[in-house]
Amino acid sequence: TTADGEALYSPIQQDQHYLTCLQCGNSVPLDFCPLQEMEKQLRRSQAFTIYYHTLEFFGVCEPCTQSVD
């Protein structure tokens, strides 16, 4: 989902992680998975096969924060 509410869907079925700015809409991919350990625990404790996940943090990027000040 973009900052203006537009829904985006990716045909790629792999883990995806982003930081998305609510002001400018810029979305920055993360080069690491902050959920790897949680995913392992869920597989074991819930007997659930996880194929992929998407994680997106929403906030305000540094350039937009500085333009408000």
Q: Is the pLDDT of residue 7 over 80?
A: no
Rounded Cα gap, residues 60 and 62, in angstroms: 7
Q: Are 17 and 29 in contact (CB under 8 A)?
A: yes
Query: Measured in whole angstroms, how far is the alpha carbon of residue 19 from the centre of its chain?
Result: 6
CATH T-level fold of 16-68: Dna Ligase; domain 1 (3.30.1490)
Note if the pTM is more than 0.85: no
Rounded Cα gap, residues 24 and 22, in angstroms: 6
Residue partners of 69: CB distance under 8 A and separation at least 6: none
pLDDT at 24: 95
Domain ranges of the chain: 16-68
Rounded Cα gap, residues 2 and 35, in angstroms: 22
Q: Is the pLDDT of residue 69 over 80?
A: no
Q: What is the pLDDT of residues 8-65, one digit of tens each?
A: 555 567 888 999 999 999 999 999 888 889 999 999 999 999 988 889 999 999 999 9
